[in-house]
């Protein structure tokens, strides 16, 4: 086995931990018992603080958003100038508003968003000018306008953005732009089209790196998963449920991070489709998109594993030391994957991924029934049911992480030690020495 660099301690400059933590499978037996006290360990709460609210995390968030901020600022000014100076609209407030709604700070489905805004503007004008134009202003008129616009929009489209846009358009027509106003409903519609068009053109001409945001989201999720597994291993080692309970409570809110990953990949695909400068990146984005389900499954399996581990600790039961070592190994692999996605280096990826695959295959090969059924010092003769559940989740997570490394599901399943006499995917035999 090649020598790995010396482990680094997490810091504000490196909250995700080292790129190459020590290999748990090469750790001497005595050191393995102290595995949960390794320098790079970070609890789930500490990890969340490092990736969300630390000074380094805040500065990183600003850096990641600088280009979208620049895009939004330039496009807003340009859209305002076109509507005011070229079309002669005296108050083209909706042109920059449309830009902000299309580009925004958040990711995902911008083209559809632009279409929804444009259609919503037209419907808003029609409803406001044609249907409710003669009702006048007042509380009951506003209530009736909002009710009618939302009913009509819901009938025509399931888009929440379009529905809201129609209602907003109607309110603007009935209040800000009443009969005789210098800004008409048609002017507002033109402004919306200008804003949407300028926003999409800006995304095409000044594109953001399509995979930057997605890689960052994946890195954060994998680092969080690593810390949860650390807490689980610590709790199982000491039969202390508190660390597991806290980690479980914190990771239950991780679905928003999974959704952010998917939105970031979708946004990258849209940007690559819009910008001719990024057409050559579509294949890479497709590969990135294939990773998301595996990361999602890994996080879900982590939550299930944590719940089973909590049951064991609350019942004062134990698992074998080997099971804890396997969880530690998965934690290390997740931490390395997190750092790998963070650095975004093809050279580093080519060096680290093959080694990670080898280590995960070794974990898969060691995850047989004998891990549970082996002797556990001080435990009853028969292992508890939750121990088997932890083994099952360990195996599932190993398959998920092999898929994150680029393997197919079939190849990942074949790496597992067989637990059935008639496996759906025949096991492969590897020599890890």
Pair 342, 314 in one domain: yes
Q: What is the dihedral of CA 210, 212, 214, 215, to 10 degrees?
A: 140
Output the pLDDT for position 129: 65
Measured in degrees and rounded to the nearest 5, phi and psi for residue 12 equal -55, -30
Q: Is residue 352 part of a domain?
A: yes
Please report, for residues 36, 49, 217, 309, the alpha-carbon distance to residue 45 in angstroms, rounded to integers and kept in the order given.
16, 6, 18, 18
Pair 259, 397 in one domain: yes
Pair 187, 170 in one domain: yes
Output the pLDDT for position 122: 72
**For the segment 178-191, what is each residue's pLDDT rounded down to a tens digit?**
555 555 667 777 88
Q: Is residue 259 part of a domain?
A: yes
Whose structure tokens read 């280096």?
Answer: 345
Q: Is residue 423 part of a domain?
A: no
Q: Is residue 15 part of a domain?
A: no
Pair 181, 302 in one domain: no
Pair 244, 350 in one domain: yes
Q: What is the dihedral of CA 163, 164, 170, 173, to 10 degrees?
A: -140
Q: Could you say which DSSP state residue 18 is in?
A: -
Pair 274, 323 in one domain: yes
Measured in degrees and rounded to the nearest 5, phi and psi for residue 23 equal -75, 120
Pair 133, 256 in one domain: no
Give the residue from 155, 170, 205 where a domain finishes. Answer: 205
Q: Is residue 346 part of a domain?
A: yes
Output the pLDDT for position 187: 77
CATH of the domain at 329: 1.20.58.220
Pair 134, 256 in one domain: no
Structure-model confidence comparison of residues 35 and 290, the more confident one: 290
Pair 214, 271 in one domain: yes
Name the token pair of 378.
């001080």
Question: Structural domain tally of the chain?
Answer: 2
**For the segment 340-389, what is each residue's pLDDT rounded down to a tens digit?**
888 766 777 888 899 999 999 999 999 999 888 764 555 555 788 889 99
Pair 217, 197 in one domain: no
Give the residue from 143, 178, 205 where a domain finishes. Answer: 205
Pair 292, 392 in one domain: yes
What residues make up the domain containing 197?
59-205
pTM: 0.70
User: How many alpha carbons lie under 13 Å from residue 268 in its C-beta half-sphere?
Assistant: 25
Pair 76, 189 in one domain: yes
């Amino acid at each position: 086995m090649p020598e790995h660099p010396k482990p680094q301690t997490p810091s504000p400059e490196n909250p995700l931990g080292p790129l190459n933590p020590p290999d748990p499978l090469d750790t001497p037996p005595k050191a393995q018992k102290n595995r949960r006290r390794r320098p790079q360990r970070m609890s789930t709460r500490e990890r969340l603080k490092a990736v969300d609210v630390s000074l380094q995390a805040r500065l990183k968030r600003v850096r990641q958003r600088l280009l979208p901020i620049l895009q939004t600022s330039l496009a807003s000014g340009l859209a305002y100038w076109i509507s005011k100076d070229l079309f002669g609209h005296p108050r083209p407030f909706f042109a920059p508003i449309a830009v902000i709604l299309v580009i925004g700070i958040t990711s995902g489905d911008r083209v559809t968003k632009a279409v929804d805004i444009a259609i919503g503007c037209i419907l808003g004008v029609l409803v406001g000018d044609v249907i409710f134009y003669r009702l006048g202003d007042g509380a009951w008129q506003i209530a009736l306008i909002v009710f009618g616009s939302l009913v009509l929009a819901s009938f025509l489209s399931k888009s929440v953005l379009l529905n809201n846009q129609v209602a907003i358009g109607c309110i603007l027509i009935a209040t800000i732009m009443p009969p005789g106003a210098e800004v008409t409903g048609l002017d507002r519609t033109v402004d919306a089209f200008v804003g949407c068009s300028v926003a999409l053109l800006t995304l095409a001409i000044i594109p953001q790196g399509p995979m930057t945001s997605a890689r960052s989201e994946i890195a954060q999720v994998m680092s969080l998963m690593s810390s949860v597994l650390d807490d689980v291993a610590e709790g199982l080692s000491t039969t202390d449920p508190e660390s597991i309970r806290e980690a479980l409570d914190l990771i239950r809110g991780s679905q928003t991070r999974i959704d952010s990953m998917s939105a970031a990949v979708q946004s990258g695909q849209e940007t690559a489709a819009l910008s001719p400068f990024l057409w050559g990146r579509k294949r890479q984005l497709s590969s990135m998109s294939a990773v998301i389900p595996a990361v999602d499954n890994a996080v879900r399996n982590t939550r299930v594993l944590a719940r089973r581990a909590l049951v064991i600790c609350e019942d004062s039961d134990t698992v074998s030391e080997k099971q804890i070592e396997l969880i530690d190994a998965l934690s290390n692999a997740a931490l390395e994957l997190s750092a790998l996605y963070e650095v975004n280096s093809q050279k580093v990826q080519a060096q680290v991924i093959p080694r990670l695959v080898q280590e995960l295959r070794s974990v898969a090969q060691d995850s047989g029934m004998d891990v549970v059924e082996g002797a556990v010092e001080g435990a009853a003769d028969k292992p508890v049911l939750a121990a088997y559940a932890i083994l099952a989740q360990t195996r599932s997570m190993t398959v998920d992480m092999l898929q994150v490394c680029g393997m197919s599901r079939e190849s990942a399943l074949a790496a597992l030690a067989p637990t059935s006499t008639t496996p759906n995917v025949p096991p492969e035999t590897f020599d890890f020495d």
